[in-house]
């Protein structure tokens, strides 16, 4: 049981490049979400999904796209990376969509030059 | 607007002492509260949670206290150990929102002195 798996662990992009951060969970969790963590700040919600085929915006969705084609996977796409997107990204999941503890992945450290 | 904040950004305690980490929240509609521990280079790890129909909950060496009157949450760690050194985050989520949208505080760094 691997829990929440994120890849890659580190990534450097140039401004304007695109990439996808991968997230997979093997716990059959209904709810998945993406957070970003910036120095001196708490985690901020980017996008979330309450089930396959259903996604919604969080607090800071601009510049990011998501999709949920399967229960297990929830990739985060940066279409045109900007330096403001330099951050640590965490994927998290929980059994249900209503106030359950989140299980976090180990994070992806992204630098946009 | 709603926010979750911490009284102290850093806390230093002696090994073996008890630690108390405080958190203030502003959204009176918050129904669910949770504490996470984050070690350097790792993702947040669940410690303990509490719902608004309770004012205290205990786990292994940890206790969470909720005071809804003053919108205050605290995490107590008994007999602090070196492995407790980490950043601790509180988070809250209002049940009225339906789908979970945890709002995190900025975190408190706990340092254990030998």
Tens of pLDDT along B80-114?
999 999 999 999 987 655 567 888 988 999 999 98
Pick the residue of B2, B6, B35, B43 with the most A CBs within 10 A to test the interface with A by mutation: B43
Are B92 and B26 within 8 A, CB to CB? no
pLDDT tens, position by position, A37-91: 998 778 999 999 999 999 999 999 999 999 999 999 999 999 999 999 999 999 9
Are B61 and B77 within 8 A, CB to CB? yes
Task: Categorise residue A103: left if φ over 0, alpha if ψ from -120 to 50, beta otherwise.
Answer: beta
What pLDDT is attached to residue A41? 75
Q: Confirm or reject contact between A110 and chain B (CB < 8 A).
A: no
Sign of the CA dihedral with A36 first, then A100, B73, and B45 last = negative
Interface of B with A (CB under 8 A): 4, 31-32, 34, 36, 41-46, 49, 51, 89, 91, 93, 95, 98-107
């Amino acid at each position: 049981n691997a829990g929440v798996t994120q890849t890659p662990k580190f990534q450097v992009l140039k401004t304007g490049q695109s990439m996808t951060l991968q997230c997979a969970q093997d716990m059959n969790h209904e709810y998945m979400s993406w957070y970003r963590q910036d120095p001196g700040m708490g985690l901020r919600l980017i996008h979330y999904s309450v089930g396959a085929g259903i996604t919604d915006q969080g607090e800071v969705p601009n510049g990011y796209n998501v999709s949920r084609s399967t229960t297990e996977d929830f990739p985060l796409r940066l279409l045109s990376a900007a330096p403001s997107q330099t951050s640590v990204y965490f994927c998290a999941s929980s059994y249900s969509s209503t106030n359950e503890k989140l299980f976090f992945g180990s994070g992806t450290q992204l630098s946009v030059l | 607007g709603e926010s979750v904040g911490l009284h102290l950004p850093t806390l230093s305690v002696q090994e073996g002492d008890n630690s108390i980490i405080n958190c203030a929240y502003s959204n009176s509609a918050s129904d669910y509260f949770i504490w996470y521990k984050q070690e350097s280079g790792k993702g947040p790890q669940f410690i303990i949670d509490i719902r608004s129909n309770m004012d205290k909950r205990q786990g292994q060496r940890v206790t969470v206290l909720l005071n809804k009157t003053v919108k205050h949450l605290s995490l107590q760690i008994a007999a602090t150990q070196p492995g407790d050194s980490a950043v601790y985050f509180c988070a809250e989520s209002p049940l009225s929102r339906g789908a979970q949208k945890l709002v995190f505080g900025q975190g408190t760094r706990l340092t254990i002195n030998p």
